[in-house]
Structure 1
Amino acid sequence: MSKGFDCATPLTAKTAALFFDQRYKFVCRYLAPSGSWKRLTANEAVICSNAGLWIVSVFERGATNALAGAAQGKDDGALALKYAKEVGQPEGTVIYAAVDTDVSSSHYNAIEEYLRSFDEQIQGYELGIYGEYEICEEMRIRGVVNKLWQTYAWSRGAKISDPNVYQYENDVIENGIGIDRDESNGDAGGWKVGMVIQQKSAILDIDVANTIINTWISPAWNDADRAQQAVEVDGDVEASVKLEEQKSYCNWLANQLRKATGQPFQ
Structure 2
Amino acid sequence: MAKGIDYAGKNNSTKSNLRAIKDAGYKFIGRYYGESDWKRLTKEEARLISDAGLYIVTVYQNGGRDIDEFTYTNGKKACRSAIRQAEEVGQPYDTPIYFAVDMEIKNNSDFEAIDDYFRGIVKEMSNYKRDNNGDGFKIGVYGSYYVVKYIDEEVSGVTYLWQCKAWSYGKDYKNRDLYQYSIDKPLKLNNGNTIYVDFCESTGSAGGFQVD
* TM-score relative to the length of structure 1: 0.70
Q: What corresponds to 2:7 in structure 1?
A: 7
User: Whose RCO is larger (CA < 8 A, sep 6+)?
Assistant: 2
Choose which of 110, 134, 138 in structure 2 pairs with 1:126.
Answer: 138
Q: Following the alignment from structure 1 to structure 2, what is the Cα–Cα distance between the partners of residues 65 and 153? A: 16
Q: Is 1:137 matched with 2:149?
A: yes
Task: Check conservation: 1:9, 1:177, Cα contact below 8 A.
Answer: no
What's the TM-score once normalised by structure 2's chain length? 0.87
Partner Cα distance (2:175, 2:113) in 1: 25
After TM superposition, give the deviation of residue 177 of structure 1 in Å. Answer: 1.6
What's the % identity of the aligned pairs? Answer: 38
Q: Distance in 1 between matches of 2:73 and 2:175?
A: 31
Q: Which amino acid aligns with 1:142?
A: E
**Distance in 2 between residues matched to 1:80 and 1:117, nearest whole Å:** 13
Match of 2:133? none
* 1:87-102 equivalent positions in 2, closer than 5 A: 87-102=89-104
Q: Is the 8 A contact 2:115 2:155 kept in 1?
A: no
Is structure 2 residue 174 aligned with structure 1 residue 172?
Answer: no
The equivalent of 2:62 in structure 1 is 61
Q: Does structure 2 conserve the Cα–Cα contact (< 8 Å) formed by 1:65 and 1:72?
A: no
Give, in whole Å, the separation in 2 of the partners of 1:12 and 1:162: 34
Distance verdict in 2 for CA 1:74–1:65, change over 3 Å: farther
Does the residue aligned with 1:95 lie in a helix, a strand or coil? strand
Higher helix share: 1
- Root-mean-square deviation (CA, aligned residues, Å) is 1.4
Distance 2:171 2:145 in 1: 6
Which structure has the bigger radius of gyration? 1
Which residue of structure 1 aligns with residue 207 of structure 2?
189
* Structure 2: gaps spanning 5 or more residues: 129-135
- SS of corresponding position for 2:183: strand
* Pairing of 1:1-266 with structure 2 (within 5 A): 1-10=1-10, 11-33=13-35, 36-64=37-65, 67-104=69-106, 105-122=108-125, 123=128, 124-144=136-156, 145-174=158-187, 175=189, 176-194=194-212
Per-residue Cα deviation, 1:83-126 (whole angstroms, up to 9, x for no partner): 11111111110000000000013211211111121123334000
* Equivalent position SS for 2:173: coil
Cα distance between partner residues in 2 of 1:63 and 1:79: 14
Higher strand share: 2
Q: What one-letter code is carried by the residue in structure 2 that aligns with 1:188? A: A
Instruction: Measure, in 1, the Cα distance between the counterparts of 2:122 and 2:15.
Output: 33
Contact 2:66 2:103 in 1 (8 A): no
Q: For residues 90 and 179 of structure 2, what CA distance do their matches in structure 1 show?
A: 25
Mean Cα deviation higher: 95-104 or 66-75:
66-75
Contact 2:101 2:141 in 1 (8 A): yes
* Offset at residue 65 of structure 1 (A): 5.7
Contact 1:81-1:121 at 8 Å conserved across structures: no
What is the distance in 1 between the residues matched to 2:150 and 2:46? 32
SS of structure 1 residue aligned to 2:121: helix
* Letter matched to residue 108 of structure 1: F
- Corresponding residue number in structure 1 for 2:132: none
Tell me if the contact between 2:71 and 2:114 (Cα under 8 Å) persists in the aligned partners.
yes
